[in-house]
Amino acid sequence: MLIVLEKGTAEAQIQAVINAVEKRGYEARPIPGGDRVSIGVLHNKGSVDAGHFLGLEGVKEVIPVTKPYKLVSREFQQENTLVKVGNAVFGDGSLPVIAGPCAVESEEQLLSIAGSVKEAGASLLRGGAFKPRTSPYSFQGMGEEGLKLLSRAREETGLPVVTEVLDVENFDLVEAYADVIQIGTRNMQNFSLLRRAGKSHRPVILKRGMSALLQEWLMAAEYIMEEGNCNVILCERGVRTFVRHSRNTLDLSVVPAVKKESHLPVIVDPSHASGVRDQVIPLAHASAALGADGVMIEVHNKPEEAVSDGAQSLYPGQFADVMRKMNAIHTIVGNS
């Protein structure tokens, strides 16, 4: 349930409404909004009687929330959430691009890629230091050494860094180095990790589980927001289907569906969605046309030598070309 207050309601009246909600054993969560102050009612089991609140001073209306997710829903918050990182804003209609290697491999590799993606206009640098690999025998990432290299690349280029956290155990460590924390597809429903991310002061990129319904994905985001972290960016990265011509199937239609259901920004990762370079390029263009709130692309200076995801990593020159085209497409189509 959402309690909408009159414009300009005094602080004391807002507090009185909060007290009335809490007195009934529910949690009251003030929701930021333009000129509309609202209070979300959480932790109710079953429906709440609107009559308890309708007569209170300052209350304009009481809206029942029909969705199982609350804090992430547009019913709760009509305005887009804006997630600001460095010079980038996710959710304001612009198209910030996150680019970099799948994994941090060496100083030379990372600094070279960081320099070229910055030059091409990327707003954030990505790179995994802890890698979720299907095989325990594959490269698992450089760990803290990789995080230090990301810091070094940030110093050198000024680009904020995005890196993945795999578990609660290493959360503090990753949080100390990352500007944005990524929760990967395999961890989308790792609820203890989501709760820990909800206590973080860092923005979180929450990738869609490889077979997750929109509702399950939003519920995962709800875990993070419920703990108090409102800076959540959703990332579509392809879902598993019957096809064999690409690694996954990029679910383009989920972007407008997310925007209808949620105020959270949603970005697209065409790299993990397709798994092959020649598909990444047109899918990146499509992402720019779609009204996505950002794009994440893997780039490598020597893809043929990459320790992971070389086949889907763009050469720096290709990335620069994709950036030019995405910007041109975004200018034409806009994002309303």
Distance CA 163, CA 203 (A): 11
- CB-nearest residue to ligand PEP: 184
Strands 83-85 and 97-100 turn out to be unpaired
Q: Is 309 in the site for Mn ion (CB under 5 A)?
A: yes
Q: With DSSP H G I counted as helix, E B as strand and the rest as coil, what are the percentages for the chain, rounded to 5? A: 40, 20, 45
Residues 6+ apart with CB under 8 A from 242: none
Strands 27-31 and 38-42 turn out to be antiparallel
CB 23, min distance to ligand PEP, A: 43
Question: Contact positions toward ligand PEP, by CB under 6 A?
Answer: 102, 128, 132, 164, 184-185, 207, 237, 272
CB 187, min distance to ligand PEP, A: 8
CB 162, min distance to ligand PEP, A: 9
List the x/- string, 265-304, binding to Mn ion by CB under 5 A: ----------------------------------------
Residue placing its CB nearer to ligand PEP in the complex, 131 or 263:
131
Residue placing its CB nearer to ligand PEP in the complex, 37 or 224:
224
Residue placing its CB nearer to Mn ion in the complex, 102 or 230:
102
Residue placing its CB nearer to ligand PEP in the complex, 37 or 204:
204
Residue placing its CB nearer to ligand PEP in the complex, 31 or 98:
98
- Residue 167 phi, psi (nearest 5): -155, 165
- Residue 249 phi, psi (nearest 5): -115, 120
Question: Quick one: what does residue 185 bind among Mn ion, ligand PEP, none, with the CB cut-off 5 to 8 Å set by partner type?
Answer: ligand PEP
* Order of strands, sheet of 2-5, starting from the edge strand that comes earlier in the sequence: 27-31, 38-42, 2-5, 59-63
CB 303, min distance to ligand PEP, A: 15
Q: How many CA atoms lie within 13 A of 206 on its CB side?
A: 33
Distance CA 82, CA 70 (A): 18
CB 232, min distance to Mn ion, A: 21
On whether the CB atoms of residues 163 and 150 are closer than 8 A, the answer is yes
- 60, containing H or E segment: strand 59-63
Q: Is 164 in the site for Mn ion (CB under 5 A)?
A: no
Q: Which residues pair with 236 in a beta bridge?
A: 268
Residue placing its CB nearer to ligand PEP in the complex, 1 or 220:
220
Question: Quick one: what does residue 237 bind among ligand PEP, Mn ion, none, with the CB cut-off 5 to 8 Å set by partner type?
Answer: ligand PEP
Amino acid at 232: V
Helix (H, G, I), strand (E, B) or coil at 176: helix
CB 110, min distance to ligand PEP, A: 14
- How far out from the chain centre does Cα 3 lie? 27
Q: Which residues pair with 266 in a beta bridge?
A: 234
Residue placing its CB nearer to ligand PEP in the complex, 185 or 274:
185
Distance CA 146, CA 134 (A): 20
Interface positions, 90-109, toward Mn ion (CB under 5 A)? 102
CB 166, min distance to ligand PEP, A: 10
CB 128, min distance to ligand PEP, A: 5
Residue placing its CB nearer to Mn ion in the complex, 67 or 133:
133
Binding site for Mn ion (CB under 5 A): 102, 309
